[in-house]
Copies of this chain bind each other. A is one copy, B any other.
Amino acid sequence: MRIVVLAGGIGGARFLRGLKAAAPDTDITVIGNTGDDIHLFGLKVCPDLDTVMYTLGGGINEEQGWGRTEESFHVKEELAAYGVGPDWFGLGDRDFATHIVRTQMLGAGYPLSAVTEALCARWKPGVRLLPMSDDRVETHVAVTLPSQDTAGGTDGEADGAGERKAIHFQEYWVRLRASVPAHAIVPVGADQAKPAPGVLEAIGEADVILFPPSNPVVSIGTILAVPGIREAIADAGVPVVGLSPIVGDAPVRGMADKVLAAVGVEATAAAVAQHYGSGLLDGWLVDTVDADTVARVEAAGIRCRAVPLMMTDVQAAAAMAREALALAEEVRA
């Protein structure tokens, strides 16, 4: 069986680890979000691709969910001693090596997809990891900054209530911890981007397509914003099943509610399913605490089941993956 998974960072990576455990003999292609890629210190950093690669390759820092295990931060300390920022993005010494290799390969002319394949030759994640695109896409967030906090933004315009700016997603997410009002999420460059080599082919050959409990706006939404990918999934003629990143009234992790608000979507399991829509999604898993929303989702034309969705460990993630695959077969039948 061939499975295609659209993935963001931590949630996607942990789900994938469960999927590998649940379906060890399947052929899994991961289409990774690159909209939160960022250039730091002259280096190209791809947080979501690396989180998937490190998690599936056994190098992840389990507690924090991103970055490397047995990590040190000497490079970062020294950069700070030089007064070179930003200081709010956590790059460890071992992690730096990944960005150095990637940047050097990109500089030598290799596309990101080839670079990702080369990095994965070391990590052996057990899946085929593709960036959504080899073209640069950068998620920006339109925010209102308090008047005193205007550092790092661009093209600002002052008004009485603060300053409205478009900032890089990482600045919004990591530096500001999504603490300022977000008005819009714009995947800059997405409209001109082409799917990376292999992306449309993998979707076309898939038996099942899964949306893990990744962020529906800035992770899966960004992947779907690359022209051709949403259409290919809708037209694939195979079950497309997603898992809700919202349990009860809150995101399982991260701050998905903030970016959902920015695009006018209620932070509930049902609303996220409707945001994807029945044109894209055939099945949807909500947590057992949201069992009362199953009827609302099914009324929207999406087959829905309530199952435990807390990825407390690999076994829990594997159980979720089994439920997703079971729902896919139910949809197919």
Category for how many chain A residues contact B: 20 to 34
Given the contacts A79-B97, A82-B97, A122-B82, A104 and B42 also touching, CB distance less than 8 Å: yes
With A41-B104, A104-B42 known to touch, is A97 a contact of B122 (CB < 8 Å)? Answer: no
Does chain B have a CB within 8 A of A149?
no
Instruction: Summarize A's interface: helix, strand, loop or mixed.
Output: helix
Q: Tell me if A78 counts as interface (CB < 8 A to partner B).
A: yes
Q: Is there contact, CB below 8 Å, between A42 and B75?
A: no
Q: Does A232 contact B (CB under 8 A)?
A: no
A122 to B81, CA, bound (A): 7
Q: Does A329 contact B (CB under 8 A)?
A: no
16 new A-B contacts, CB < 8 A, other than A42-B104, A82-B97, A84-B104, are A42-B107, A43-B100, A72-B72, A72-B93, A75-B96, A77-B94, A78-B94, A78-B98, A79-B100, A81-B122, A82-B98, A82-B101, A82-B118, A83-B122, A84-B101, A93-B93
The answer to whether A75 touches B97, judged by C-beta atoms less than 8 angstroms apart, is: yes
Nearest-Cβ distance from residue A60 to partner chain B, whole angstroms: 14
Taken together, the copies of this chain in the complex come to 2
Residue A103 at the chain B interface, CB threshold 8 Å: yes
Chain B residues with CB under 8 Å of A118's CB are 82
Shortest 7 CB-CB contacts between residues of A and residues of B: A78-B97, A74-B93, A42-B104, A93-B93, A75-B97, A78-B94, A79-B97
Minimum CB–CB distance for A242 against chain B, Å: 34
